[in-house]
Structure 1
Amino acid sequence: MSKVLLLSHGDLAREIWATSNMVLGEMSGVEYLTLPLGTDLNRYEQDIRRKIEDAEDGLLILTDIFGGTPFITASRVFASLEDKDRVEIVTGMNLAMAIQVFNFVGNMPVKELKKIAVTAGTEGIVDLKERI
């Protein structure tokens, strides 16, 4: 079963997980790692590596911001992997993206989850005046 890992600065990943849990009910296959100020980055990198190793059927990593520490750390771990096909990374995580992806965790391969994340994340940004 493919899994999803949320990575963010501060508690954003946990809060997206918690809010999604309120909307969708209890979810399986979704985990998060927070990055509070002062976190040991070597340990954070090891934690990400461990999550990837535990996700034998594929892992979609959603990070909060391109170029931020969670993204850079996940990218560094990704670059060191022998089997890059089972891991996908999407940055710019938002609630619309997360909820849509969580609906399909465990039912789709990780490459399909990635497509859903990118589409839902983009389509979840709406200018009300343009919409009406």
Structure 2
Amino acid sequence: MEILNSRLILRPQDWDRSLRFYRDVLGLAIAREFPGGTVFFLGQGFLEISGRGGPGPSPDQVLWLQVREVRAEFERLRDHGVTVLAEPERQPWGLDEAWVADPDGMRIVLVEIPADHPIRTDVRPPQA
């Protein structure tokens, strides 16, 4: 299978409220709009909010967002009244994570990858 594009689609309970959250609070840039939906740039992917959803997301669903400075983004979101689930903290796997929720309860993890983490460090032995 050759994947040409991908996106996560959310069906919010209140589309206008979610639009304001993802556009104005998180600050995601809009990739395109269509009647009843908006697609946001999400790093190397996309996030679409469209339609109308039911009682909320499954606790098994998480939106993972890598940011440059997790503490700064977390404080900015807290100042906007975003629901806080967990303060920024270094996890056993070496990533700095903070957890918040969107207006429908979709859990969002903000992740900062420290400069010395293997994801950002070339751990191969030096070439001779």
**TM-score higher than 0.5:** no
> What TM-score does the superposition give when structure 1 sets the normalisation length?
0.29
- Highest relative contact order (Cα 8 Å, sep 6+), 1 or 2? 1
Q: Which has the larger radius of gyration?
A: 2
More helix per residue: 1
